Amino acid sequence: MSHVIEPTSLDHARAVLGTEGTPVLVDFSATWCGPCKAFAPVLEDFADERAGKLKVIKVDVDEFSVIAGEVGIRSVPTLMVVMDGQVVAARAGSLPKQALAAFLDEALAR
């Protein structure tokens, strides 16, 4: 079972992004994006490893363009770390799992 949340509505996406007390890793992606597809297994594996400590959500920029616009997404994939509804870190591009862990851990240490 995948621990990557794929929102079913704008309200669902906003509810996950607004989670309090648990960090949220957001993968802004698109179905037509090759690098996004290549990154998907890394994200799934990472989400499975961090289940219970972290929420991981995949936000399709075409389906949820309102959210993508609100946070200024200009390229996909873009990764963001959200804590208590606030963006604490962001970076464009995908990462290998070890670098993804470092990005998240550094963001949460701030």
**DSSP labels, 61-81:** TTTTHHHHHHTT--SSSEEEE
Would you name the residues annotated as active-site residues? 33, 36
**DSSP labels, 41-61:** HHHHHHHHHTBTTBEEEEEET
> Alpha-carbon distance 29 to 40, whole Å?
9
pLDDT score of 16 more than 90: yes
Query: Helices 97-109 and 34-49, interaxial angle, to 10°?
Result: 70
Domain spanning 4-109, CATH architecture: 3-Layer(aba) Sandwich (3.40)
Mean pLDDT of 56-75: 96
Q: Which one, of 52, 56, 69, 37, lies nearest residue 100 by Cα?
A: 56
- pTM (2 d.p.): 0.96
Ranges of each domain in the chain = 4-109
pLDDT score of 1 more than 90: no
